[in-house]
Chains A and B, each alone.
Chain A
Amino acid sequence: MASEPSSQKTLGGLVDDAAAELLVRENIAWMLDLAERLLRDRGLAEDVVQESLISALRGLGDFKGESALKTWLHRITTNTAISKLRKLKRVAEESIDDYLPVFDQNDCRLELPWTQLVSLQELLETEEIREHVAKGISTLPDSYRIILQLRDIEGYSTAETAELLELSTDNVKVRLHRARSALKKLLEPALRGEMQI
């Protein structure tokens, strides 16, 4: 830390202390939420947010104002969280084959009849189901879960997700589809209205 290039100090110095504190206070809570969603661990999320905010304050000179400040911070936090997952080797290959759709030898889908598909509104009414869904998402291997979260929940496009994860867009599409299919399988009892509450 002591041998840091002086240019970084100057950039950081562009924001006065009060402005820096305001930026931290206004954004730390949602950034912690985001990091915890991506990492599923509060302690790791705190590390990631600390690292992200420090680098944001130092790099504020690079912030061109082309995107909203929140969008910029969102990306920094997401990037830092992904590096953290990589370091922990949690984005390793894991199979979710058991939860994928099945077909017979003639390529016909094997799917139990759906006599009931519970409405979204009804599903959201029950706290147990909300917990069940959050748990279902956590059950997915990180390499799939992270794509589902970036695309379906954090609102990144396929191209942006591919860039963040250094994957091809085709790979992102395949994994996103598998993640959604697997999650559907995991949530089936709730979706069919057969969950014991």
Chain B
Amino acid sequence: MIMRRIKGFMLKRMHGMITCREFEDFVLSYLDDTLPPNQRKRFEWHMKICRECRDYLAAYQRTIELGQSILAADDKPLPDDVPEDLVQAILDARGR
């Protein structure tokens, strides 16, 4: 608790540092690789000194990978999935 207060104080006051809240605002751009070099440096520096943000980002990235792997795996329909009644309804409606 006392350590966190010292950390918060340092990050807020010291030159070239960003707070965890600012880190949070940069996460998306950092991962999209669109952070300006200066901000990128601060972001990476914050990650070196802040365990919470480092852990957070790792879990955040794992979440994205997990969501992508699982939903992308569902994207393989079998050919016999073709619902005949729906196909017919579409072809009938087209003629009209």
Residues of A within 8 A of B (CB): 1, 4, 12, 17, 20-21, 24-25, 28-30, 32-34, 37, 46, 49-50, 53-54, 57-58, 101, 103-111, 113-114, 117-118, 120, 123-124, 130, 133-134, 137, 148-149, 152-153, 158, 173, 176-177, 180-181, 183-184, 187-188, 191
Contacts and interface: CB of A to CB of B under 8 A. Distances in A.
Band of interface residues on B: 35 or more
A193 to B, nearest CB: 12
Given A1-B96, A177-B27, A184-B63, A107 B11 contact: yes
Given A120-B62, A183-B63, A28 B71 contact: no
B89 interface: yes
Given A30-B75, A33-B77, A54-B90, A108 B4 contact: yes
Interface of B: 4-5, 7-9, 11-12, 19-24, 27-29, 32, 50-53, 55-56, 58-60, 62-72, 74-75, 77-79, 81-83, 86-87, 89-91, 93-94, 96
Contact of B67 (A54, A58, A158, A183): A183
A107 B19 contact: yes
Contact of A49 (B23, B53, B86): B86
B87 A28 contact: yes
B59 A20 contact: no
Contacts of A113: 51, 55
25 contacts: A20-B91, A20-B94, A28-B86, A28-B87, A32-B81, A37-B71, A50-B89, A103-B21, A106-B9, A108-B11, A108-B19, A109-B20, A109-B56, A111-B56, A114-B55, A117-B58, A124-B69, A124-B70, A134-B70, A152-B64, A153-B67, A153-B72, A158-B32, A184-B60, A187-B63
Nearest to B29: A173
B53 A109 contact: yes
A33 B72 CA distance: 11
A8 to B, nearest CB: 10
A25 B87 contact: yes
Contacts of A110: 52
A152 B67 contact: yes
B89 to A, nearest CB: 6
Contacts of B86: 28, 46, 49-50
A180 B30 CA distance: 14
Residue in A109, A133, A137, A152 whose Cβ sees the most chain B Cβ within 10 Å: A109
